[in-house]
Amino acid sequence: MISLFAITFLVSFVASAQPGVTNLTVIRATLHQSRKSGFWTALGGCLPELLYAGAVAYGSQWFLQSPDVQRILRIVAVPALLVLGILALIRSRRAQQVAVETVKPILTTTRKSFFQGLTVALLNPQLPLFWFFVLMYYSNYPWLQINTVTEQLTFALAAAAGAFTILNLYVLFIHRRREKLSQYLQPHRFDLIMGCGLIGLALWRAVALF
């Protein structure tokens, strides 16, 4: 059980460290709002890890035995990433129109930050696909196989804990270098980069389907 938690925590930690829609949203909240906003965005962003990892673990036998699950998740990922990318570009356009010479923190509520992270992560189609692949890998090792409810909960909690840890390290790092980074990553630029990256990822996944 300890091994399952430790390995899953590490997998989630490393995977969440890579550039993605959730950690980019957390970075944006910390950089252009506040450390508190970044924390609550991270908290909301890690809950879907708990949901998706738990769902995959709960339906592990069905996921592993259904040959169409992987392709369905890959297909769904394309329009979802496109939508997230387009929304980021629209947000970039609006931010550019109201941009000022001096970058000031944008005031936001705790609830808004939490639901921002939650919504973005819930709409991220790569999460269930990722945990599906992790589960397939685990099935090759008896000591990592998930058969009981306790093991399912351990798997899901470790996935959320790993993501939450690395997201808060991002918050801490960005907050300490906020003044310097704000000069180069103004809101409209950050959203433009994020939007183009998501659309590019969507196109790459669309090509990979054929």
Within 10 angstroms of residue 149's Cβ, the number of other Cβ atoms is: 10
For residues 65 and 162, the model is more confident at 162
Q: Is 24 within a domain?
A: yes
Q: Is 184 within a domain?
A: no
Q: Is 72 within a domain?
A: yes
Q: Is 98 within a domain?
A: no
Question: Could you read off the pLDDT of 128-158 as tens digits, one per residue?
Answer: 778 887 887 887 778 888 888 888 899 999 9
**Structural domain count, the chain:** 1
User: Is residue 106's pLDDT more than 60?
Assistant: no
Using alpha carbons, select from 1, 11, 4 the residue that is nearest to residue 49: 11
In b/e form, how buried is each residue of 22-53, taking b as 16+ CB within 10 angstroms?
Answer: bbbbbbbbbbbbbeebbbbbbbbbbbbbbbbb
d(CA 63, CA 57) in angstroms, rounded, equals: 9
Structure tokens at 67: 């040959």
Q: Is 99 within a domain?
A: no
Q: Is 153 within a domain?
A: yes
Q: Is 75 within a domain?
A: yes
Domain that holds residue 127: 2-79+111-178
pLDDT at residue 98, rounded to an integer: 47
pLDDT at residue 92, rounded to an integer: 65
Confidence grade of residue 160 (pLDDT, cut at 50, 70, 90): very high
Q: Is 209 within a domain?
A: no
pLDDT at residue 179, rounded to an integer: 67
Mean pLDDT value across residues 166-192: 74
Confidence grade of residue 201 (pLDDT, cut at 50, 70, 90): confident
Within 10 angstroms of residue 86's Cβ, the number of other Cβ atoms is: 14
pTM attached to this predicted model: 0.71
pLDDT at residue 169, rounded to an integer: 92
Within 10 angstroms of residue 178's Cβ, the number of other Cβ atoms is: 18
